[in-house]
Amino acid sequence: MSRRTRLVIGWTAALLAAGLFAWLGLWQGGRAVEKERMLDEVAGVLAQRRPVPLAAAHDRGRSQSYDWTAGRGRFAGEVLWLDNQQRDGRVGLRAYAPFRPRVGDPLLVDMGWAPGAPDRRRLPRLQLPTGEVELRGLLAPPPSHGLDLGAPMARQADGWLMLRVDPAAITVALASPRPFAPRVLRLDPALGYGLPRDLRLLANTLPPEKHRGYALQWFGLAATLLVIALVLTFRKPRR
C-alpha cells in the first residue's frame, strides 16, 4: 500500500472520528443550555408562585413546562413507587400517588423519597391523607429516563413498582376511566404530609456544569486526534 493511500485512509478515519467527537461536544453543550433554561424558568415560577388550576397539568402544549398550581381533591388508589431515585447521594424510591381533583382529570402527585428496603421485593409504606385536601406545588414533566426498554411498571405483592413514569401505562394499569396528566405535581415541601422531598429538578441527572465539562472533553479529543493525524502526516518516514 502506497504512502498516499495510507494517508487518505488515515485522514478519512481521523476526520470521521473527530467529527463524531465534535458532534458529541456540541450535543453536551446544547444539553447544558437546555438545563440552564429550565432552571431559570423554574426559578421564575417559584419566585412568583402564581397558582394555575390543577387542570393545567393536562395541557399537552405545556407538557415540558413548569407552573405553580393549587387546588382541592382526593387521593384515590395505591401509591406507585419509582425505582432508582437519588436524594443526598443515596438511592431509593420516589412515591407517586394518584389524585383526583375536584375539577378535572386525575394526575400523579410526587409525595417524596424513601430509602429502599434491603429486600428489594418489599416496597415502603405510605399513609395517604383521607377526605378532600388542598394541594399546592410545582407542575413539572415526569423524571427523565433512559431508553424505554421493558414494561414501565410491574405489580408487586404489596404495590406497584415503576421503572419510569408513563402516564399512559398508568392509566391502563389502574383502569382509570380518564387519562392521567402528562405532568406530575411536585408537592410543596411545606405541606405537612408525605415523605421527605424538595423541589430540586436535577437530583437524578447531570447539572449544566457537568455537561459543559463533558463537552470540553469531547472537543479536546477531537483536537487531539487531528493533532496526532498532522504529526503522523508530516513525520519523516524511517529509512
- At 141-173, the pLDDT tens digits run 988 765 666 678 788 777 888 888 888 889 988
Q: Which three cell numbers stand for residue 189?
A: 415541601
User: How far is the C-alpha of 188 from the C-alpha of 186, rounded, in Å?
Assistant: 6
Per-residue model confidence (pLDDT) at position 25:
92
Separation in Å, CA 148 to CA 110, 164, 223, 239: 21, 8, 34, 56
pLDDT tens by residue, 51-62: 999 999 999 999
pLDDT tops 60 at residue 239: no
pLDDT tops 60 at residue 121: yes
Partners of 87 in the beta sheet?
90
Task: Return all residues near 84 (Cβ < 8 A) that are at least 6 apart.
Answer: 91, 163, 204
**Beta-sheet strands, E only, within 116-164:** 133-140, 153-156, 159-162
**Choice among 98-107, 125-134, 196-205, 211-220 with the minimum mean pLDDT:** 196-205
Please tell me what DSSP assigns to residue 204.
Answer: T
